Amino acid sequence: MNQTALSSFMMIETKVFLWGTFGLLIWQIFTGKIKLRGLLRDKERGLPISPARVQALASTLGVALYLLTQTAAPMSETKGAQADSKRSMPSIPDEALLLIGGSQMLYLTMKAGATTRRLI
């Protein structure tokens, strides 16, 4: 099998795996095996929505969407020497890493504070 055919096969195999995983995830959400009820609820204070959870989810989804758009860029944009770069994960900007890290740190700080207040 030549290099082009092998590369094409691996690309198809990767797409089948990713779409299959996505389909399985959606199926389990709709059948109730994965429960989303109370995902954003503040369980410590009994509030319907936790601002810390909302910002953590929003920042994670934002960075994930950015990476998805970078990965799904049209293949016609990559030519010549840049053709190999389309097969790799796009580089993640420092700002995105800071956003995710800061967001998760804020969430965990809020969670630790609530746990500490409950124990005292």
pLDDT tens for 41-84 read 887 777 899 888 999 999 999 999 988 888 776 555 555 555 55
Average pLDDT in the chain: 82
pLDDT of residue 85: 47
- Considering only residues 88 and 1, tell me which one the structure prediction assigns the higher pLDDT: 88
Amino acid at residue number 60: T
Point out the least confidently predicted range of 5-9, 44-48, 66-70, 113-117.
5-9
| Maximal C-alpha separation, the chain | 67
Straight-line distance from the first to the last Cα atom of the chain, in angstroms, rounded to the nearest whole number:
67
Average pLDDT over residues 93-104: 93
- Considering only residues 101 and 90, tell me which one the structure prediction assigns the higher pLDDT: 101
pLDDT band at 8 (very low <50, low <70, confident <90, very high): confident
Average pLDDT over residues 89-112: 90
Are 107 and 53 within 8 A, CB to CB? yes
- Residue 42 is classified by DSSP as B
Compute CA distances 116 → 107, 111, 113, whole Å: 14, 9, 5
Q: Is 38 a residue whose pLDDT tops 90?
A: no
